[in-house]
Chain A
Amino acid sequence: MVPGGTGDGTAGGSPVNTARSAPTGTAPAHPPAYVGDDRALLDVAEAIAADWAALGVRGSFLARHLDTREQLGFDIEVPTPLASVVKVPLALVVLDRIEEGGLDPAHPVTVDPGTSSVGPTGLAAFRYPATVAVGDLLALMLSVSDNAAADALLGLVPVADVDARLRAWGCGGIRMRHRMNHLYECAAGAAGNDFSLALELAVRDEGAGRHTIGTLDPAHANAGSAAALVGLLERVWCDGIAGPGATAELRRLMGLQVFTQRLASELRTDTLRWSGKTGTFLHLRHEIGVVEAESGERVAIAALTRAGRRAGLAPDIDLAIGVAGREAFEALRR
């Protein structure tokens, strides 16, 4: 288990409970700051934190019912490096620019593997140059988390513009500070092309409070808190941000994500619809999204985790995130 990294942020006015011991498993080393609108919701939040701690996972979790606005979670104000989760606010800014008429969704962009960003999927995995329209870059970026598509979009809407627009929208809790490839460049700068060494550094630094890999430092990375991300999702799903065309398209594109191992894993039925975006980098395993039931109920969820385990693949951690999402959804749904 990795000590260090703290969070004492709590939602204003929400009850905070740190006195009770965790109901199952190993109690977290530093008790998280819990939020929950009643005792039952607090119990669920504590059970999730204990479940994660038993797997050596630290992080933040927040689930909010978009109609009742009841919520549960813990450490929801802790800024965390977002990895690919930042592609959601990036997409919203690009879609808003399109809706304003400042960018043509049919505008062709040529992505050359010789100069494009590193990644395992989409254009980043291509071996030959490809020309793709802006609208389809967005689809690649959100469906398969294409790093090359994201950085091609940042070629059209610069990083500073995205950050400024987020602040103008009042989303100051989400910071866009660098291109996607900067994650790879920083890791490779510290560890070469050695994934396990980069992972080792990342896990070690969690305890030390300093960051050999700069993009893991929330003060210098693309970063955000669970509270800020759920706030963004709430405004996207309730048309409370950007233009209605932009939010509708973002909701559609987030429904196209192919990865289902995390929050989607326990929310997959024909009666539920999950729209989400994962983020994975070294020991970080995140996902944000919204589950919508046929009954009309909607719950926005953000799960941001940092593992103390030196493993590239950890399906049990992914599953624990999925279990947390389902338990929160069922508790809030009533």
Chain B
Amino acid sequence: MATADESSFSRAADRLGIAQPLLSRRIKTLEEHFGGSLFDRSRRQIATTELGVLLLPYARDVLDRAQRLRQAANSARRSRVRAVGVPADCSPVALARALRAGAEHGITLGIRELPPLERVVGLAEGALGYALVRVPPEGAAHRVPLGLASAPVPGDGGNGAARRTVHLEELRPRRGRAAGPGAPPPVLFLTEDQVPCFEDRLYRAAARAGLPESRIRPAGAGATALAETLAGSALLLCAEPFARQHGARWRPLADRALHRGYDVNAAPGRDRAGAVPDWLTTLLASAVGAAPVRRGGPGPGPAPGDEDVRARPAARG
């Protein structure tokens, strides 16, 4: 087409931005395909042959259609909804801000509440564009303090002494005068915390603090667990906004290795190479109730290998 318009191989190659030998080769291939010359090369100026003139309107039509196909694909890509995987119980106000900010940046976001493992799978399979992904808190970009919700204490405004951190050792049943009636309440954890690395840490920390494994239980549905907690028959591991929203008393866990850690990740796509826009990262972090933290926070505990002879694995007593 360009060669016919320009009546010159070199000018046509310039217009298409390719080398002239390449253009010549392509025309040769077409001529072999149609079984006849398209251009008359015998004179100084190139002329289109009778066959070439005959095919020209059909060629123009094919190219126009290809162009329209490309445009349709581009606009479809621009208007596609990017699914964002978030934990349950995010702040709706912060999520709304994320949706509005997406619109301003020309991206339609679709928020999907999913359990932690499904968010990871969704990213890997491309069903999600972005997701808040659980990672150990010490390496996380965002950390959410996890604490214990309990039944509200009458006359307690939710401040003051209630802000004190809670240590797992305190949950051991009391003996003597302080002994309470009945079995000590179970410690429930939500679907959002049913992540193998967190569960292992929690069970290990509880064992070391003198609690039997049976005290720690997955809560299943949040509403049931919350009801038991408000009724005083259970303690619920959750973030502060969730507890406050439902009028429960809440104290943060002193062991920061048990807090929630999040990174905001993008699906490993060909186009944007896994980058998450900064505005989205900030808004998702605030939706999950996190404040940014410095990398290299507290580790999961003391390193092994100290030479305390009592800690050596020998028979005792």
- Chain A contact residues, CB within 8 Å of chain B: 1, 26, 54-56, 83-84, 117-121, 124-125, 145, 147, 180-181, 183-184, 187-188, 191-199, 259, 278-282, 308-317
Contact A309 to B314, CB < 8 A, known contacts A56-B214, A194-B305, A316-B173: no
User: When the two chains form their complex, are residues B314 and A310 in contact, meaning their CB atoms are under 8 A apart?
Assistant: no
User: When the two chains form their complex, are residues A195 and B312 in contact, meaning their CB atoms are under 8 A apart?
Assistant: yes
User: When the two chains form their complex, are residues B305 and A84 in contact, meaning their CB atoms are under 8 A apart?
Assistant: no
Contacts of B310 in A (CB 8 A): 120
B207 close to chain A: CB less than 8 A? yes
Number of A-B contacts (CB under 8 A): 99
User: When the two chains form their complex, are residues A1 and B317 in contact, meaning their CB atoms are under 8 A apart?
Assistant: no
Question: With the chains together, A55 CA to B183 CA distance in Å?
Answer: 12
Neighbour of A280 across the interface among B210, B214, B312, B317, CB < 8 A: B317
Question: What is the interface of chain B mostly: helix, strand, loop, or mixed?
Answer: loop
Question: With the chains together, A314 CA to B212 CA distance in Å?
Answer: 8
B204 close to chain A: CB less than 8 A? yes
Contact A195 to B212, CB < 8 A, known contacts A121-B316, A145-B317, A310-B207: no
B313 close to chain A: CB less than 8 A? yes
User: When the two chains form their complex, are residues A193 and B212 in contact, meaning their CB atoms are under 8 A apart?
Assistant: no
Contacts of B314 in A (CB 8 A): 117-120, 124, 147, 181, 183-184, 187, 281
Neighbour of B315 across the interface among A125, A184, A192, A311, CB < 8 A: A184
Question: With the chains together, A272 CA to B313 CA distance in Å?
Answer: 34
Question: With the chains together, A84 CA to B316 CA distance in Å?
Answer: 7
Count, chain B residues at interface, CB 8 A: 22
Contact A309 to B212, CB < 8 A, known contacts A194-B304, A197-B304: yes
B213 close to chain A: CB less than 8 A? yes
B208 close to chain A: CB less than 8 A? yes
Contacts of B317 in A (CB 8 A): 84, 121, 145, 259, 278-280
Contacts of A183 in B (CB 8 A): 313-315
Question: With the chains together, A309 CA to B215 CA distance in Å?
Answer: 12
- Chain B contact residues, CB within 8 Å of chain A: 172-173, 203-204, 207-208, 210, 212-214, 304-305, 307, 309-317
Question: With the chains together, A55 CA to B213 CA distance in Å?
Answer: 7
Using A192-B305, A193-B311, A316-B212 as known contacts, list a sample of 19 further A-B pairs with CB atoms less than 8 Å apart, ordered by residue number in A: A1-B213, A54-B212, A84-B316, A84-B317, A118-B314, A121-B316, A183-B313, A188-B313, A194-B304, A279-B315, A281-B316, A282-B313, A308-B213, A309-B212, A312-B311, A313-B210, A314-B207, A314-B212, A316-B172
Question: With the chains together, A308 CA to B305 CA distance in Å?
Answer: 24
User: When the two chains form their complex, are residues A316 and B313 in contact, meaning their CB atoms are under 8 A apart?
Assistant: no
User: When the two chains form their complex, are residues A280 and B315 in contact, meaning their CB atoms are under 8 A apart?
Assistant: yes
Contacts of A119 in B (CB 8 A): 314-316
Least CB separation from A203: chain B residue: B207
Contacts of B309 in A (CB 8 A): 118, 120, 125
Q: Which one of B172, B207, B307, B313 has the greatest number of beta carbons of chain A within 10 Å?
A: B313
Contacts of A311 in B (CB 8 A): 207-208, 210
Least CB separation from A287: chain B residue: B317
A and B contact pairs by CB, cutoff 8 A, 29 listed: A54-B212, A118-B309, A119-B314, A120-B309, A120-B310, A121-B316, A121-B317, A180-B315, A183-B314, A183-B315, A184-B312, A184-B313, A184-B314, A195-B312, A195-B313, A199-B313, A259-B317, A278-B317, A279-B317, A281-B313, A281-B314, A309-B212, A309-B213, A310-B203, A310-B208, A312-B311, A314-B207, A315-B210, A316-B172
Contacts of B173 in A (CB 8 A): 316
Contacts of A124 in B (CB 8 A): 314
Question: With the chains together, A199 CA to B203 CA distance in Å?
Answer: 14
Question: With the chains together, A105 CA to B276 CA distance in Å?
Answer: 79
Contacts of A84 in B (CB 8 A): 315-317
User: When the two chains form their complex, are residues B210 and A316 in contact, meaning their CB atoms are under 8 A apart?
Assistant: yes
User: When the two chains form their complex, are residues B204 and A188 in contact, meaning their CB atoms are under 8 A apart?
Assistant: no
User: When the two chains form their complex, are residues A310 and B204 in contact, meaning their CB atoms are under 8 A apart?
Assistant: yes
User: When the two chains form their complex, are residues A187 and B207 in contact, meaning their CB atoms are under 8 A apart?
Assistant: no
A329 to chain B, nearest CB (A): 21
User: When the two chains form their complex, are residues A187 and B313 in contact, meaning their CB atoms are under 8 A apart?
Assistant: yes
Contacts of B212 in A (CB 8 A): 54-56, 309, 314, 316-317
Question: With the chains together, A259 CA to B316 CA distance in Å?
Answer: 11
